[in-house]
Structure 1
Amino acid sequence: MKRWIKFPLIGLAAVLAAAAATLAFANHRSQSRMTRTVALPAYALALPEDAASIERGRYLYQSRGCTDCHGQDGAGRVFINDDGIGLRLAGPNISPGPGNVVAHYKGEDWERTLRHGVKPSGQPLLVMPSEDYARWTDADVAAVAAYVRQMPPKSGGPAVLQLPLPVRVMYGLGLMPDAAERIDHGLPPPQPVPEGVSLAHGQYVANSCLGCHGQLLSGGKIPGAPPDWPDAANLTPGAGSAMPRYASATEFRTMLRSGRRPDGSRVSIVMPFESLARMSDTDIDAAYLYLKSLPPRPVGR
């Protein structure tokens, strides 16, 4: 074989072999990361049964994104199904019915799942957006658990987690962190703040935006999102911010409930409008006040 042909072929073969080895390693590593143990101390959490707590749990369940993955009835639902890339995700049944995954949950298990993104077994919950709930108070974590526990029983099954090879490779290489990696597990539980249109309550409400819009709320690529999803908007007053579109809390409230901007254009359907539309005026107005108070930051994490 001519030398000028032989050497490039040898180089190509080496590159292909290295690529195959990297893919194999990353795929194997993804399995290890999915089944790793996240060590957390048990956190005693009493689960209430009073009507006020259950009503608070109902409100949070319906307005903070729980229905997007688990459905209004808690039986679970498919929330991503992209046959083009082989990605299918479905939330599990968490109602008290047959096939539910929380039948033996105690208070500490609910706390670990919601705040830390970790199963009772210690393994990470890969698609649980616990970074949105990590700063919930004890009372709110317990209220959601109390509401779910008294739901009418529905039949369902475990979560569906069908990931295409590129996603497994990215996860295996650490390019796609799960919620348990993004959460600071050493932070103490937050203390309650009075509910009202205030900066303190607005910050508490805006914690539910962190999973998509980032810890600084400056938007950018959503971690773990399908490749065709748009970037999350910058919610600070910085360059590229979405907030100048909303001159008042009323306009901001209308957008969250209609999915449309003041000019009539539609906001990306990636936004969980099914849940956001159920937020109270107080929560929305407080969040608007807080977002308007943030220091300007450029788009991205």
Structure 2
Amino acid sequence: MLWLGVPRAQAQAQTPAPASADAQVIARGETLARAGDCIACHTIPGKQLFGGGRPMATPFGTLYSPNISSDKETGIGTWTADEFYRMLHEGRSKDGDLLYPAMPYASYTKVTRADSDAIYAYLMSTPPVHQPNRPHELRFPFNQRQLLLGWRTLFFRAGEYQPDPSQSVEWNRGAYLVQGLGHCTMCHTEINALGGNTKSKEFQGGLIPIQDWYAPSLTSNKEAGLGDWSIDDIVGLLHAGVSNRGAVYGPMAEVVYDSFQYLSEDDVRAVAVYLKALPGHTSEVSSEAPTTAMTEEKNRLAPLGKKIYDAQCAVCHADQGQGKLPNFPPLANNQSIQMTSSVNPIRMVLNGGYAPGTMKNPMPYGMPPFAQSLSDAEIAAVVTYIRTAWGNHGTPVTEKEVNTLRSATIF
């Protein structure tokens, strides 16, 4: 959760949530706030909960998340439940300012009033953090808030989620979480030049700007998405961070750590049911046959790539890329390895990483970084090998691609 409309002036104090707010409502609000991943944006790691100030790099400049603690001077302690709901539902701050869409109100508008009130009650129950909000650092003309009117015309439609009577209760619960609090389209849908989602490519995957990670397709496409995944595999990945089909790294590891591991298994299963039902699209997979140049490059790099793989990777991922479950994910028939974008496997080899430590997987195994021990040419060779060996249908990667990602932010 991230809203970025800092009030122009301090409003007169108003009555916050009653001190006698029902404990069950507060507990439900905490779970819903977890579903919305509020901590990820509004808490600097290692700092006080919901104190804000976390920098958010965007193609338009840097935004700083606001303080959403119960502090009455620098947080939202003087907000009413009505004002909080308007913020989620309409994308407007307490004083009516339009919010920058890094706060995903285009998704949060689907949240029901009852759930909004529960989140509000929870936030008002948290300790106040006295930390003034930091001004955003946006380039002109993106620092002109009135321009958001045009963005909203193109990309925002207010309205709570309306259940589909033709679908099951479980499917509708999953749809509500994915489309609303989960704001999954923020990463898993291609972002256009205006910073909005490309509707025709919803849930089909996309490169996360600035972060340089590729969020994979969530549709039922069998080659690019979740079509071959079982419900249990999806639940395992979201709840534990690992499953028989792979593990989460990068930004998604933070989502699982801060959000999904705290949801009930019924809710996570509902999300899986909904995702499995998303229609796949042929456009998600490249229909172009490998060119002669690609085949020659693959054949050139494969011997060196196999040599490095056998020496550095096979001990964990096995000689045929089948992995050693549950700790070391398979590389053979792994969509994240074969995607059109080679960003993720390159970054994993360069930077390594750990799956998140979760209640179901408290001591995750990690992958060591190879940025210091392998050259760009060697990393290009081994990534090309794992993208094209064992029946994988990826394309070769270049030294230039590797070199570009050497300086990418590590998550």
TM-score (norm 2): 0.50
1:219 aligned to which of 199, 204, 220: 204
1:149 aligned to which of 105, 111, 124: 124
Q: Conserved in 2, the CA contact under 8 Å of 1:233 and 1:241? A: yes
Give the aligned CA root-mean-square deviation in angstroms.
3.9
Question: What CA distance in whole angstroms lies between the structure 1 residues aligned with 2:35 and 2:279?
Answer: 27
Q: 1:269 — aligned with what?
A: 251
Counterpart secondary structure, 1:198: helix
Q: Conserved in 2, the CA contact under 8 Å of 1:98 and 1:156? A: no
Q: Conserved in 1, the CA contact under 8 Å of 2:109 and 2:160? A: no
Q: 1:182 — aligned with what?
A: 155
The Cα shift of 1:133 comes to 1.4
Question: Where in structure 1 are there 5+ consecutive unaligned residues?
Answer: 1-33, 36-45
Counterpart secondary structure, 1:272: helix
Correspondence list, 1:51-90, <5 A: 51-71=23-43, 73-80=49-56, 87-90=61-64
Question: What CA distance in whole angstroms lies between the structure 2 residues aligned with 1:98 and 1:172?
Answer: 27
Q: 1:266 to 1:249 in 2, by over 3 A?
A: same
The Cα shift of 1:256 comes to 1.9
The Cα shift of 1:239 comes to 6.6
Which one-letter code corresponds to 1:136 in the other structure?
Answer: V
The Cα shift of 1:201 comes to 1.2
1:140 aligned to which of 103, 112, 115: 115
Q: 1:124 to 1:50 in 2, by over 3 A?
A: same
Q: 1:237 — aligned with what?
A: 220
The Cα shift of 1:105 comes to 1.4
Question: What CA distance in whole angstroms lies between the structure 1 residues aligned with 2:278 and 2:33?
Answer: 27
The Cα shift of 1:121 comes to 2.6
Question: What CA distance in whole angstroms lies between the structure 2 residues aligned with 1:118 and 1:109?
Answer: 9
The Cα shift of 1:288 comes to 0.6
Describe the superposition over 1:55-77 as per-residue Cα deviations: whole angstroms up to 9, x where unpaired.
11011112321111122722114
Which one-letter code corresponds to 1:282 in the other structure?
Answer: D
Q: Conserved in 1, the CA contact under 8 Å of 2:66 and 2:133? A: yes
Q: 2:70 — aligned with what?
A: 96
Which one-letter code corresponds to 2:203 in the other structure?
Answer: S
Which one-letter code corresponds to 1:76 in the other structure?
Answer: G
Counterpart secondary structure, 2:56: strand
Identity percentage of aligned residues: 24
Q: How many residues align?
A: 246
Q: Conserved in 1, the CA contact under 8 Å of 2:161 and 2:176? A: no
The Cα shift of 1:286 comes to 0.5
The Cα shift of 1:134 comes to 1.3
The Cα shift of 1:204 comes to 1.2
Q: 2:177 — aligned with what?
A: 205
Q: Conserved in 1, the CA contact under 8 Å of 2:171 and 2:273? A: yes
Q: Conserved in 2, the CA contact under 8 Å of 1:134 and 1:183? A: no
Q: Conserved in 1, the CA contact under 8 Å of 2:235 and 2:268? A: yes
Q: 1:69 to 1:49 in 2, by over 3 A?
A: same
Question: What CA distance in whole angstroms lies between the structure 1 residues aligned with 2:155 and 2:218?
Answer: 20
Q: 1:199 to 1:150 in 2, by over 3 A?
A: same
Matched, 1:283 2:280: no
Q: 2:319 — aligned with what?
A: none
Matched, 1:168 2:142: yes
Q: Conserved in 1, the CA contact under 8 Å of 2:84 and 2:120? A: yes
Q: 1:276 to 1:136 in 2, by over 3 A?
A: same
Question: What CA distance in whole angstroms lies between the structure 2 residues aligned with 1:248 and 1:99?
Answer: 49
Question: What CA distance in whole angstroms lies between the structure 2 residues aligned with 1:292 and 1:191?
Answer: 18
Higher relative contact order (CA 8 A, sep 6+): 1
Question: What CA distance in whole angstroms lies between the structure 2 residues aligned with 1:188 and 1:197?
Answer: 17
Describe the superposition over 1:230-249 as per-residue Cα deviations: whole angstroms up to 9, x where unpaired.
3432211137533136x323
Counterpart secondary structure, 1:227: coil
Q: Conserved in 2, the CA contact under 8 Å of 1:217 and 1:235? A: no
Question: Where in structure 2 are there 5+ consecutive unaligned residues?
Answer: 7-16, 190-198, 286-411
Q: Conserved in 1, the CA contact under 8 Å of 2:204 and 2:218? A: yes
Q: 1:294 — aligned with what?
A: 278
1:108 aligned to which of 67, 82, 101: 82
The Cα shift of 1:113 comes to 0.9
The Cα shift of 1:136 comes to 1.1
Matched, 1:250 2:243: no
Counterpart secondary structure, 1:236: coil
Q: 1:204 to 1:173 in 2, by over 3 A?
A: closer
Describe the superposition over 1:18-44 as per-residue Cα deviations: whole angstroms up to 9, x where unpaired.
xxxxxxxxxxxxxxxx99xxxxxxxxx
Question: What CA distance in whole angstroms lies between the structure 1 residues aligned with 2:128 and 2:71?
Answer: 4
The Cα shift of 1:269 comes to 2.1
Q: 1:183 to 1:149 in 2, by over 3 A?
A: same
